[in-house]
Structure 1
Amino acid sequence: MLNLKGQTYFYILTTENKMETQEIMAAYQKGFLGAVNDNVVAIAFDYDEGNLFTYVYLKTIPTDEDFEIVDIAVTETIAHLPKITYEKIYLEKKCQGFRMREHQGWFFMRYSKSSLWLS
């Protein structure tokens, strides 16, 4: 936000960047349909000029099965994003009350009154 002589101006993301984020979110929705189980706490992403980084936060230590499910979902996601030339998946166990890092976008966050995963 910029204030010049009583006038307020807001900086808005360019349409291209906003569209890319919307396209990525739509692709994640298609790719992860049915792939989010009770073990998943949150899913985030970062995107940078053809590179897509997916971060999946779990309640337990990631297993081979967890990675396989996420890998298939990310493959489905990338199928809808022709500009992606590189992808990387990170699976991490997170404890109750953990602080989440900043990411460009969050695709999924679990909220539960019985456990404070997002406090």
Structure 2
Amino acid sequence: MRIGLHTGLVLAGVVGVKMPRYCLIGNDVSLANKFESGSIAMHINVSPTTHRLLVHTEGFRFEARPREHLPEGFPEHIKGTCHFLKGFFHPKLDPAEPLDVHIRKAQRELRMDASQTWLA
């Protein structure tokens, strides 16, 4: 299994009447797919855009990859490189605690507001 994460704009909706399907459309969706296909098994490949947002949240650990690992078509004006997400440990918990305990604590604290602008 491979995972690719990218942050950007998306058009989402149900397409079709006879066999309706929920579709995600847009260049950023294609880029996320390229980050997935450019990853390696059992790794989460994070775009520079997503890394820039997550790196300010304490607890995420990343491993930088060379810029040549960016997918074809990634905008050249965006600085940085892709990273592998290596883990998450809540800074207020003992690292020996199970991962799900760290994640649940972070979810309770972050309570992401859907109206918050993350790209500003």
> Same fold by TM-score, threshold 0.5 exceeded?
no
TM-score, with length taken from structure 2 = 0.36
Greater relative contact order (Cα < 8 A, sep 6+): 1
TM-score, with length taken from structure 1 = 0.36
